[in-house]
Chain A
Amino acid sequence: MSANDAKAEVVIQPSRGWAALNLRETWAYRELLLFFTWRDLKVRYKQTLLGASWALVQPALTVAVFTLFFGRLAGIDTGAVPYPLFSFAGVMVWGYFAGSVTRAATSLVGQQNLLKKVYFPRLIVPVSSVFVGLVDLLMASAALACLMAFYGVAPTARVAALPGLVALAVLLALGVGLWLSALNVKYRDVGHMVPFLMQTWMFLSPVIYPSALVPQTRTVAGWEIPARALYGLNPMAGVLEGARWSLFGVGSAPGAAVLTATIVALVLLFTGAAFFRRMERDFADLI
């Protein structure tokens, strides 16, 4: 009877060890993923005066401050690219990444009422919070295009690589976000840690200064340390340098850095997803 019956069958039993990723089921719920993304976007700027223009006001003000302090006062050398342009690209991409990681980290705890009452693949929650930021990124890109026109910097064919680099940032944000969101369910310390983590990470990434500012090697207490190579292990270095390279068409392709970033992103993504699945079964009891 059961063999030729088309009815869906759900088997409920304790899972042991490392569960399969079960991406098929997550895919079946893709509509819910879009709904969550849409809801977050919709609710985001409710009851604000400036509404969606916050997506532009924030990076614009940040860039103004950076230009004043790092561009003018500190005189950071950004080569052929004017400092405001340089930092806007950095702030925009970094802002997407940091915002997405922060949102993802607290996403499960923020949805606890839902997690305790309805079943759906929990993966959807952090994934949707990584998607939400893409709309802001899109708006900021439009602003950047205007800024480029103002400074007379024309995009080259390399700009075709930009979507790939954004995708890399998405995967990276998701990888980190999966780890942090699952950890945050059990250890709320994560929520306190994330702002500090993101701030430190920003200073370790070429957001307000170019990677070229980091020396190739540095001698500390008699040991020669390959500073630049270590710096390149930061996956966001590849994403940010790559984004500037494709947008402004200056310098040589940061191929090695982008490759490193890709590898790190994939490792984080797979381990993050596996860890998330393992923790998932206890979410409703722990949260």
Chain B
Amino acid sequence: MGDAAAIRCEGISKRYRLGRGRSGYETLRDRLARAARGLLGGGGAPGAAGANEVWAVRDVTFAVQPGEVVGLIGRNGAGKSTLLKLLTRITEPTAGRAVIRGRVASLLEVGTGFHPELTGRENIFLNGAILGMPRRETAARFDEIVAFAEIEKFVDTPVKHYSSGMYVRLAFAVAAHLSPEVLLVDEVLAVGDAAFQKKCLARMEAVNRGGLTILFVSHQMNAIRRLCARCLWLDGGAVRLDAPAEEAIAAYERAHLAGDLRGAARPGAPAEGASFVSWEVIEPRGSGPHTLNGLGTVRLAVTVEVRRAIAHGVHGVTLYDADNRVIWGWAAYNLRIEPGAVEFQYALDSLPVRPGRYTLHVSLYDENRMLDQWTCVPDLLVTTPPMTHPRDEWSGVLNTPCSLSLAPARAAPGAGAPGGDL
């Protein structure tokens, strides 16, 4: 009976080496230099390799039955995307095993394989082939795909002239018509306007009545609630909870508020150097130490444990929104830091962002050597009351108050006055 699972993972794990491999590539010179150091016996630090390893996914075991729709939740860096990359065979696991039964299609990014110089028509066929759809099948569904994407007039225009909305719609339309048996989806619904997102969700639900198995990664809990009966919560690369969707989401959100999350898997902190310890909102503080409520001057503090004097410190801070977009980034250079516990305090005039969940990421270097980086735990929760358009798709990224007054035109009569229906 167990064999019938559409997806079965048994202890699947993926290890990355930091510094090499994942980011940056090794040049021949590095390799030769390393080999030379090895020959001379010592010089380099062979033991350093272990400290720079990260288990992005560790010992994950679960099974998904045919026709089941399972959501994958967890904060940034919890291993969701890596798990999907393993299941789509883009990267190989370091240990463990997974078996997928049935035709697999994946949607890790919309528009993968689109070529800007080719027309919409040509890209539909190309993208179909990349996603594993035979040409005959693409041809049979061509009209349906074009209609779904609402690009009838532009099928023979190169996609480089498309608006980003058209591009996304076309890309999703191809994928939504693949008719696979197992579909792996990563956060693609984050792009595109709300109306199209709804259409895509509806399409996925419709396809699912035909027994499609879906593994679905999203930060949008509403989409997860709507689509999935069951949820896997990943934390620090491992499965923290495998439960009915409502239960898993509730537990996940409770843990968020309580600050009880491991966050991104971190390498074993080096013995020397420094490590980030904690962070908090000083003002305008909401209900908890990691909640920001209000528009006035914002002061945040991050505490770092410095174990060795830093002569040319570089400190970077980045703020991500729930869709992993960079909202704000900043860096300070030439910091001289003495050993001990140090609090970095930032002061901003205001942080007028929409209410929701954000992630702070901080890093500390001495010249070019990374001492530590940290995806701050828990996430930053912004509870400032919304002041923007009541409809979600028109409210934007910023949450800033605005006033409107009607007055006679001051200069050119052509400058249209907005309607006064507010």
Contacts and interface: CB of A to CB of B under 8 A. Distances in A.
Given A1-B3, A43-B117, A286-B25, A118 B100 contact: no
A8 B4 contact: no
A187 B4 CA distance: 43
Nearest to A116: B90
Interface stretch (A10-18, A153-161, A167-175, A228-236): A10-18
A275 to B, nearest CB: 16
B93 A42 contact: no
A42 B131 contact: no
B125 A7 contact: no
A32 B134 CA distance: 9
B118 A15 contact: no
A24 interface: no
B25 A187 contact: yes
A8 B101 contact: yes
A31 B133 CA distance: 10
A221 B29 CA distance: 34
Contacts of B102: 7-8
A32 B3 contact: no
Contact of A120 (B1, B97, B130, B181): B130
B28 A189 contact: yes
B210 to A, nearest CB: 15
A109 to B, nearest CB: 9
B21 A286 contact: yes
B96 interface: yes
A115 B26 CA distance: 18
Interface string B97-110: 11111111010110
A119 B89 contact: yes
Interface residues of B, number: 51
A113 interface: yes
A14 B94 contact: yes
B93 A39 contact: no
Nearest to A183: B28
Given A2-B3, A119-B88, A11 B106 contact: no
Nearest to B16: A285
Contact of B86 (A1, A12, A15): A12
A9 B106 CA distance: 16
B141 interface: no
Given A118-B106, A118-B108, A285-B91, A12 B126 contact: no
B1 A1 contact: yes
A284 interface: yes
Contact of A119 (B29, B98, B106, B125): B106
Contacts of B90: 115-119, 284
A65 B31 CA distance: 42
A144 interface: no
Contacts of B126: 35, 39
A14 B134 CA distance: 29
Contacts of B135: 31
A218 interface: no
A117 B22 CA distance: 15
The listed residue with most B CB atoms (<10 A of its CB), out of A9, A43, A119, A185, is A119
Contacts, number: 118
A189 B25 CA distance: 11
Nearest to A120: B130
B181 A12 contact: no
B98 A284 contact: no
Given A32-B129, A119-B90, A10 B28 contact: no
B130 to A, nearest CB: 6
Nearest to B21: A285
A119 B86 CA distance: 10
B115 interface: yes
Contacts of A9: 99-101
A284 to B, nearest CB: 5
Contacts of B117: 42-43, 46-47
A282 B89 CA distance: 11
A119 B191 CA distance: 22
A194 to B, nearest CB: 13
Nearest to A280: B92
A42 B118 contact: yes
Contacts of B50: none
Nearest to A33: B129
B27 interface: yes
Nearest to A119: B89
B122 interface: yes
B95 interface: yes
Contact of B91 (A31, A189, A284): A284
Nearest to A114: B113
A55 B223 CA distance: 52
A42 B122 CA distance: 10
B129 A7 contact: no
Contacts of B345: none
Contact of A13 (B98, B104, B106, B134): B98
Interface in A184-240: 185-189
Interface in A238-287: 281-282, 284-287
Contact of A11 (B3, B22, B97, B115): B97
Contact of A12 (B21, B28, B99, B106): B99
Contacts of B131: 118
Given A118-B106, A118-B112, A119-B90, A35 B100 contact: no
Contacts of B240: none
Contacts of A116: 90
Interface string A36-59: 000100110011000000000000
Interface string B326-348: 00000000000000000000000
Closest 3 CB pairs of A and B: A119-B89, A12-B98, A117-B112
Interface of A: 1-2, 5, 7-15, 31-32, 35, 39, 42-43, 46-47, 113-120, 185-189, 281-282, 284-287
Interface of B: 1, 3-4, 12, 16, 21-22, 25-29, 31, 85-104, 106, 108-109, 112-113, 115, 117-118, 122, 125-126, 129-132, 134-135, 181
18 contacts: A1-B3, A1-B4, A2-B3, A7-B102, A10-B101, A11-B97, A12-B92, A13-B93, A13-B97, A14-B93, A31-B134, A35-B130, A117-B90, A118-B113, A118-B130, A187-B25, A188-B25, A285-B22
